[in-house]
Copies of this chain bind each other. A is one copy, B any other.
Amino acid sequence: MLYIVGMGLGGERGVTVRGLDAVRRCARIYMEARTALLTLGVDGDTSSRLTKLENLYGNAVTIAGREIVEGESGDQILCEATGADIAFLVVGHPFGSDEPSCKATHTDLVVEAKKLGIEVKVIDSASVLNAVGACHHHTNIPFFTETCKRDHFYQTIVNNRGLGLHTLCLLDIYAKEPMSESLIRRNKVYEPPRFMTVNTAISQLLEPAYDEDSLCIGVARLGSDDEKIVAGPMRKLVGVDFGPPPHCLVVGKKFLWGTHVEKEMLQFYMIRS
């Protein structure tokens, strides 16, 4: 049996009771690399966080990069799952992934397993896509490069504004990306992991669609005990320290925020200074 287990938000305790029961029964636990990066971080505390997580889940955890899930040794997980219970941990919801490439990877794993006659059980948990309540329309904001400029996501935000909708912007995360010049080599060299902050996202958005007074909501570490949510005009939010990743950003129609209750709710998060 292959369990694809959503870890939800805010670390290992975002898993459901059903998910925890399943993971504890498993002979081996894999954790998707991006999930690992978001859950364990990249600073000095990584190993103590991993220990805490392994204590809760009752077993050692193997980090599975794309080379394990998709590469030459890609059959390893599926092979093991033919004879034992194997867990594959994914941050957020298994199919609610904020990154299309991850979503495809997880779906591929399920399809390949089913083709081999392996039973698959997907265990849900929360995703940022519904934890940010009213936003059912979202886009990804990538780091700008020579080949990837604002055209990719910009039209979505503009379209949503035209329809009077907010947009949830998921900010780029590089977990373990091979450097482009090493893509064809056997021993790939990876870029250092990096996360886009609310501040970078705002500075990329500031013109021409939005101006310094456009209202937005910055969100960091949603669902964890130290989540941080601050609303305000872009000129103020661009200078707020949101702390460690992951971050996301909600942008709405100019100076017009939904219903009365939504407006009241927004006030609780409004920046004061």
A interface residues with partner B (beta carbon < 8 Å): 6, 8-10, 12-18, 20-21, 56, 93, 95-96, 103-104, 107-108, 110-111, 114, 123-127, 129-131, 133-134, 136-138, 222-223, 259, 261-262, 264-265, 268
Known: A8-B125, A9-B124, A110-B265. 14 other contacts (CB 8 A): A6-B126, A14-B16, A14-B17, A16-B16, A93-B130, A103-B133, A104-B259, A104-B261, A111-B264, A111-B268, A126-B126, A126-B127, A127-B130, A136-B136
CB-based contact B126/A131 at 8 Å = no
CB-based contact A130/B95 at 8 Å = yes
List the B side residues contacting A137 at CB < 8 Å: 136
Q: A13-B21, A130-B129 are in contact. Are A124 and B223 (CB under 8 A)?
A: yes
CB-based contact B17/A15 at 8 Å = yes
Q: Which residue of B lies closest to A132 (CB)?
A: B95
CB of A156, distance to nearest CB on chain B (Å):
12
List the B side residues contacting A93 at CB < 8 Å: 126, 130-131
A131 and B18 CA atoms in complex are apart in Å by: 15
Q: A130-B96, A265-B111 are in contact. Are A124 and B17 (CB under 8 A)?
A: no
List the B side residues contacting A104 at CB < 8 Å: 259, 261
List the B side residues contacting A133 at CB < 8 Å: 95-96, 103, 107
List the B side residues contacting A56 at CB < 8 Å: 17
Q: Which residue of B lies closest to A121 (CB)?
A: B225
CB of A230, distance to nearest CB on chain B (Å):
15
List the B side residues contacting A18 at CB < 8 Å: 10, 13-14, 223
Q: Which residue of B lies closest to A126 (CB)?
A: B124
A178 and B110 CA atoms in complex are apart in Å by: 45
CB of A38, distance to nearest CB on chain B (Å):
15
Q: Which residue of B lies closest to A115 (CB)?
A: B264
List the B side residues contacting A13 at CB < 8 Å: 16-18, 21
CB of A134, distance to nearest CB on chain B (Å):
7
A126 and B93 CA atoms in complex are apart in Å by: 7
Question: Which 3 residue pairs of A and B lie closest in terms of their CB atoms, listed nearest first?
Answer: A95-B133, A96-B130, A124-B126
Q: Which residue of B lies closest to A108 (CB)?
A: B261
Count chain B CB atoms within 10 A of each CB in A8, A12, A104, A126 and give the residue with the most. A126
List the B side residues contacting A123 at CB < 8 Å: 223
Q: A125-B126, A129-B136, A265-B110 are in contact. Are A15 and B14 (CB under 8 A)?
A: no
CB-based contact B261/A16 at 8 Å = no
Q: Which residue of B lies closest to A263 (CB)?
A: B111
